[in-house]
Structure 1
Amino acid sequence: MLELHDVTKRYGERLALDAVTFTVGDGRLTGFVGGNGAGKTTTMRIILGVLAADGGSVTLGGAALTEADRRRFGYMPEERGLYPKMRLLEQTVYLARLHGWSPATARRNALELLERLGLAERADDTIESLSLGNQQRAQIAAALVHRPEVLVLDEPFSGLDPMAVETVQGVLADVAASGAPVLFSSHQLDIVERLCDDLVIIADGRIRASGSGEALRTQHATERWELLMTGDAGWLRQAPGIRVDEFDGGWALFEAESDAARRAVLAEAMARGEVVTFTREHTTLAQIFREVVR
């Protein structure tokens, strides 16, 4: 597995990373989320050796990363960096060749990957002639064509339409299923929540939360309940032991100070009309994110 332990980085007087510690497990998709300037890209660049940390360590399988290790990594930066005048297939094959693949194997890998990413029909187009979404998929192809053992992606879903997002999700899931640790950052929390096994939340250069999605939801679960009934639910605002957070006609989102108060709400709602929904609110990644970074 890929592990970061107490990684620190300063730019002059500014502490960009403060004892950053987390793990990316083998065969696990790990989402790395945080606001602009939180430290995500700096962390990824240190993992790749593009930047040097001022302290701490990055290890793979318990051993310090070497140059040879990093050659087996796949990396997609947030900024597009492909050669605009080269044709897509030509460039993808070229990048595989740089990693030591034979011409025939490099071409076969490239063609299979472009087909998987929905880019086969664009194989002979230049990079600059592709749409922004297809350029993004080309960047992902560039990171994957040498079949990396560790994958690090900075905002891979940026600029993709819903169908392309689904395609890239499938490709990343396949990479993780092969046993590779996969770390990617994204501002699209719904995608991270849907796709990832594990989550790491960073703010102001410090890790605020990390772990499996299930563990984080359990840890940060809210005791809020959702009621949807056929009649008006306005009476709930006067119910003892209840605090209504949101309300609209027959729908309400509320907190109960005790199980007895919650059960009393259900009994009253059933007495007043048909209860369509009465359930505990599902804690979303967006809610967890807001809670841990504020």
Structure 2
Amino acid sequence: MGERAIAAQARDLTKDFDGKRAVDGVSLTVPEGRITGILGPNGAGKTTTIRMMLGIIDPSSGTRSLLGHDQPLQVAREVGYLPEERGLYPAMPAMEAIAFMGALRGLPIAEGRRRAIALLDERGHGDWAKRPIRTLSKGMAQTVQLLGTIVHRPRLIVLDEPFSGLDALNQEKLEQLIRDQAAAGVTVIFSTHVIAHAERLCERVAIIAEGRVAFEGAVDDARGRLRPIVRLRTRVADGAWRSALPAKARQVAGEWRFELPETGPEPLLKAMIDGGAGIETLSIERPGLHDAFIAIAGEAAAREMGHAQDPEEAA
């Protein structure tokens, strides 16, 4: 498969606010038809970077292109954008809200209403069509705004912290909507400070910390920076076989954990079998994106994101 065309690109973007640098030389590339996540704690510069790439604000320096145009606003009608600060007219029926958002991107209002009804029906929400926004729950209203973001069938969808405030069920529905759009060939960019969403959805990620890109590339490449982790439980607590464990091996909840040695598992297994360790369980696990994030961005950035634990992990 050949290289994909570029949907969005930033080169050395900077942005200063009142003498303070919020974005400091950000460069990133978003291939067409893929899901790209922008990861980082609140205040890292994610939203400012997105707004510069979309042409909502101008950079202090650097260049950007969007769908092949150096002036992003020229292709605004081909973009669906859900900002972090969201809001709908409370008295407007859901169908009209979706159609109105489409009209802002050039979609005729009658066609917008037709598509709005179809989008709601597809998701089993046809009964929402005539309900005023103020009568919907927060999750329902956010679903309406998301449908308004895609109703004009954009080539590129940009979602800024789209999972914020949603319960686990609505997060799952949003993840499926993102997958469906990507499967249809739409490029998706979303920012988040919950790493689990990016790990489940993204092919590529950009990790931003303190206004700079610490990593950009495939999720597998980020995880590949760390060696696999061995988890080992034995029947025998001690013996000569212990000398075969790496120096940094540590015991956690009754099992040994350590990085897989460069020599692979075979010499370790032989030493343990010969030494009568009595292997109960042994697994070799690839590090997750969370571990890679810590290695790339540092413990401090990870701690700043720690409060945003994935609901499934917290359960």
Please confirm whether the aligned pair reaches a TM-score higher than 0.5, indicating the same fold: yes
Q: CA deviation at 1:99?
A: 2.6
Between the aligned partners of 2:124 and 2:176, the Cα distance in structure 1 is: 12
1:224-261 deviations in Å (ceiling 9; x for gaps):
322244x2556676545432234222x2211365527x
Between the aligned partners of 2:21 and 2:149, the Cα distance in structure 1 is: 30
Aligned residue in 2 for 1:167: 173
Query: Would the aligned equivalents of 1:198 and 1:212 in 2 still touch at CA under 8 Å?
Result: yes
Aligned residue in 2 for 1:266: 269
Residue 119 (1) aligns with residue 125 (2)? yes
Q: CA deviation at 1:208?
A: 0.3
Three-state SS of the structure 2 residue aligned to 1:170 is helix
Distance change (3 Å), C-alpha of 1:121 and 1:233: farther
Q: CA deviation at 1:162?
A: 2.7
Aligned residue in 2 for 1:19: 25
Aligned residue in 2 for 1:33: 39
User: Which residue, out of 65, 81, 89, partners 1:83?
Assistant: 89
Q: State how 1:213-252 maps to structure 2 within 5 Å.
A: 213-218=219-224, 220-229=225-234, 231=235, 233=237, 239=244, 241-249=246-254, 251-252=255-256
Residue 7 (1) aligns with residue 10 (2)? no
Query: Would the aligned equivalents of 1:27 and 1:179 in 2 still touch at CA under 8 Å?
Result: yes
Divergent runs of 4+, >6 A: none
Query: Would the aligned equivalents of 2:120 and 2:126 in 1 still touch at CA under 8 Å?
Result: yes
The letter for the 2-side match of 1:265 is L
1:146-182 deviations in Å (ceiling 9; x for gaps):
1111111011112223332222222212222232221
What 5-or-longer segments of structure 2 have no aligned partner? 1-6, 299-315
Aligned residue in 2 for 1:292: 296
Distance change (3 Å), C-alpha of 1:96 and 1:227: same
Q: CA deviation at 1:287?
A: 1.0
Three-state SS of the structure 2 residue aligned to 1:272 is coil
Aligned residue in 1 for 2:65: 59
TM-score by length of 2: 0.83
Distance change (3 Å), C-alpha of 1:232 and 1:167: farther
What 5-or-longer segments of structure 1 have no aligned partner? none
The two structures, once aligned, show a CA RMSD in angstroms of 2.2
Structure 1 residues 200-209 or 157-166, which shifts more?
157-166
Three-state SS of the structure 2 residue aligned to 1:139 is helix
Distance change (3 Å), C-alpha of 1:276 and 1:5: same
Query: Would the aligned equivalents of 1:26 and 1:176 in 2 still touch at CA under 8 Å?
Result: no
The letter for the 1-side match of 2:162 is P
Between the aligned partners of 1:283 and 1:242, the Cα distance in structure 2 is: 19
Distance change (3 Å), C-alpha of 1:115 and 1:58: farther
TM-score by length of 1: 0.89
